[in-house]
Amino acid sequence: MNLHNLQTKLGMSLAGLAIVVAVGFFALKVDEQSPQVGGPDIPQTPSTYTEVMPEESGELYRIHVRDAAGTETQVHIKFLDGSLGLLKLYPDGDTKEEVRLFHDKSVRKQASFDAHGQVTEGFEYRTNRTLVWKAFPYGAGKTVTQSFWPNGRPFLERTYDPERKTTAVKFFRDNGAIWQETVTVGDDVLTNLRWYDENTRLRVIYSVVYSDDSVPKIQVLYLNADGTPDFDQQYGYTADYYYDPASGVPNPNRLVVKSVGVYDDAKLVGRVYLSNSGRVQMIDKYRADGNTNRSHVQSTGMITLKEQISPTGSRSSQYDFDGNFGMAPPLEERFRVPLPDRTVPFKQFEDAEKAFRDEQ
């Protein structure tokens, strides 16, 4: 299990599990009873079977244990480094408890999972016995998980709320500075993100926003170093436009930039609307008197309709198809940056972990 998968499932009561592992760890026998003389030769389900594991798994083999009904209940693991591990399973085959030992039989990893795959309590150490992560209950059914860089500084603090099905995570750089904050709901659907630069200045805010017609959009606001708005992007889906990310169910359709907000002196002064292919379709300019000047753009880039919209919604319109309104300027490339990559902290943490393992 890599750390990224662990963090999206972490959420861990293991009292007697280490004793189970340390005492009689591999005391398993295949049922060798012979059929009664004269009885039918009925094939018997073996109580255990061995699975040889590929080298890239880090394991040598697994011994799978079944109960009398043939349901797999445990998996005993021998790792390539000679250490031992144990999985206890729910009836559906999902992991209920996990343990891994050091060579001296002390516990290296211990984790307990609920029926939904969330870790409810546990911990894990590196080979040098520094703490990788720990998890513990935190009031009202919540679970807090903390992970640590190889240098011992905090990497993340994650709070899982099973009632709301939300997961809030704070990430920290290896020097202890705040790095990123995220909130996901349901099946790991991102609803909020705040990203900080190396000097702990807030530079990006990702959130679900609702327009006047109550249509949810994803807005990404980019900030200058002084904290003032630079520009924003509003995203929607290529289909199912009224889908709400707050539902927690992933939308299978592609996210695209629907519009870009332009700021001047920390004020929103205009918005450029785009097609699903990224073509400029409409340009709004917001005037100081509250009116909006709107230009409608054809696929050729020609502006053929200009409107003036008052704060009350009244409009005056002018049409021209001879090119007298000119061509719409292309959207600046700096406004076309992709969505923030929220996996960057995980990737850098994995790189640090790999470097640590390579040094051992």
Confidence bin at 4 (pLDDT 50/70/90): very low
- The neighbouring-strand residues paired with 51 are 62
Summarize the confidence of residues 289-293 as an average pLDDT: 96
Q: In the chain, what percentage of residues exceed pLDDT 70?
A: 87
Reported as a single tens digit per residue, the pLDDT across 234-287 is 999 998 778 889 899 999 999 999 999 999 999 999 999 999 999 999 999 999
- Of the candidates 282, 264, 286, 257, the residue with the CA atom closest to the CA atom of residue 272: 282
Q: Which structure tokens are listed for 358?
A: 């390579």
Give the pLDDT score at 41.
Answer: 59
Buried-state track 168-183, b at ≥16 Cβ within 10 A, e below 16: bbbbbbbeeeebbbbb
Give the pLDDT score at 5.
Answer: 44
Neighbour count for residue 121 (Cβ, 10 Å):
20
Which residues are within 8 A (CB) of 281 and not within 5 positions of it... i.e. 6 or more apart? 273, 274, 275, 296, 297
Q: Please say whether the beta carbons of 265 and 323 come within 8 A.
A: no
Strands 131-138 and 84-89, bridge-based pairing: unpaired
Which residues are within 8 A (CB) of 114 and not within 5 positions of it... i.e. 6 or more apart? 11, 120, 162
Q: Please say whether the beta carbons of 249 and 187 come within 8 A.
A: yes
- The neighbouring-strand residues paired with 231 are 222, 262
Q: Tell me how far apart the alpha carbons of residues 223 and 209 are, in angstroms, rounded to a whole number.
A: 17
Reported as a single tens digit per residue, the pLDDT across 210-243 is 877 778 899 999 999 999 999 999 999 998 778 8
Q: Please say whether the beta carbons of 64 and 51 come within 8 A.
A: yes
Give the pLDDT score at 306.
Answer: 97
pLDDT at 30 exceeding the cut of 90: no
Reported as a single tens digit per residue, the pLDDT across 133-184 is 999 999 888 999 999 999 999 999 999 999 999 999 999 999 999 999 999 9
Confidence bin at 2 (pLDDT 50/70/90): very low
